[in-house]
């Protein structure tokens, strides 16, 4: 021990141990602050931005969804349900969304119901909180409100293959009166040119 002390190396229980304890404590405080920041971020995104899990577990058969049920081609797009809710049905596949141009009303709740037929896709509508993953076999549902009329891009944000970066759709947010006029009568509305 005396040789270690004379050569300047730390002695157990001596000054070196105090330095180690202080360094440990500093590190524990830094890690504690990082954890607190991450938890605060989760709370802020959850409450302030209304970020939410995209779906309860609702399954759909990828082999038959194009033949029958709500995801047949003629039923895709935006609709005004009997109870007055605006519902948008979307199918994603490599490498496009159907419909590729989506119409939604501003200022009223819009429910998305979407799924994928092949790989995992995702979409986010501009800088809004409309953001979800689309997993084959599952229906992703969420409800959001677009505050202002305008136009957004809706890119696929899950890497889904070689055409991923070319996979996107457009979303037109219309004044509610205009949307209701077009969706009345149960028609499926989209902004795809016909």
Is residue 171 part of the contact set for ligand CUA (CB under 6 A)?
no
Tell me the number of residues near ligand CUA by CB under 6 A. Answer: 8
List the one residue from 164, 180, 182, 188 that touches ligand CUA (CB under 6 A): 164
Is residue 121 part of the contact set for ligand CUA (CB under 6 A)?
yes
Is residue 91 part of the contact set for ligand CUA (CB under 6 A)?
no
Is residue 158 part of the contact set for ligand CUA (CB under 6 A)?
yes
Tokens of 27: 């590190």
CB 168 → ligand CUA: shortest distance, Å?
9
Closest CA to 152 of 101, 90, 116: 101
Is residue 160 part of the contact set for ligand CUA (CB under 6 A)?
yes
CB 160 → ligand CUA: shortest distance, Å?
3
149 pairs with which residues across the strands? none
Nearer to ligand CUA, 98 or 179 (CB): 98
Is residue 139 part of the contact set for ligand CUA (CB under 6 A)?
no
Is residue 159 part of the contact set for ligand CUA (CB under 6 A)?
yes
**Residue-wise DSSP of 69-133:** STTSGGG-EEEE-TTS-EEEEEEEETTEEESSEEEEEBSSEEEEEEEESSS-EEEE-TTSS-EEE
Nearer to ligand CUA, 134 or 174 (CB): 134
Tokens of 9: 């190396």
Is residue 167 part of the contact set for ligand CUA (CB under 6 A)?
yes
Closest CA to 143 of 50, 46, 43: 50
Preceding amide of 95 cis, omega within 30: yes
Torsion sign over Cα 101, 103, 107, 109: negative
CB 132 → ligand CUA: shortest distance, Å?
12
Task: Give the CA distances from residue 189 to residues 16, 49, 184, 194, in Å, rounded to whole numbers and listed in that order.
Answer: 73, 28, 10, 12
Nearer to ligand CUA, 167 or 174 (CB): 167
CB 131 → ligand CUA: shortest distance, Å?
14
Q: Interface with ligand CUA by CB under 6 A: which residues?
A: 95, 121, 156, 158-160, 164, 167
């Amino acid at each position: 021990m005396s040789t270690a002390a004379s050569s300047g190396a730390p002695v157990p229980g001596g000054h070196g141990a105090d330095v180690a304890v202080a360094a440990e404590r500093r590190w524990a405080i830094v890690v504690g602050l990082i954890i607190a920041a991450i938890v605060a971020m989760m709370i802020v995104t959850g409450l302030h931005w209304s970020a939410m899990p995209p779906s309860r577990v609702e399954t759909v058969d990828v082999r038959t969804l194009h033949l029958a049920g709500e995801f047949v081609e003629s039923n895709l797009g935006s609709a005004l349900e009997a109870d007055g809710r605006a519902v948008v049905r979307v199918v994603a596949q490599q490498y496009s969304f159907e419909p590729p141009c989506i119409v939604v009303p501003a200022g009223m709740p819009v429910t998305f119901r979407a799924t994928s037929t092949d790989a995992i896709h995702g979409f986010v509508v501009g800088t809004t909180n409309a953001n979800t993953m689309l997993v084959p076999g599952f229906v992703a549902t969420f409800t959001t409100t677009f505050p202002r009329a305008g136009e957004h891009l809706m890119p696929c944000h899950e890497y889904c293959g070689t055409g991923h970066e070319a996979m996107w759709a457009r979303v037109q947010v219309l004044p509610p009166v205009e949307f209701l006029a077009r969706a009345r009568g149960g028609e499926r509305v989209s902004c795809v040119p016909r």
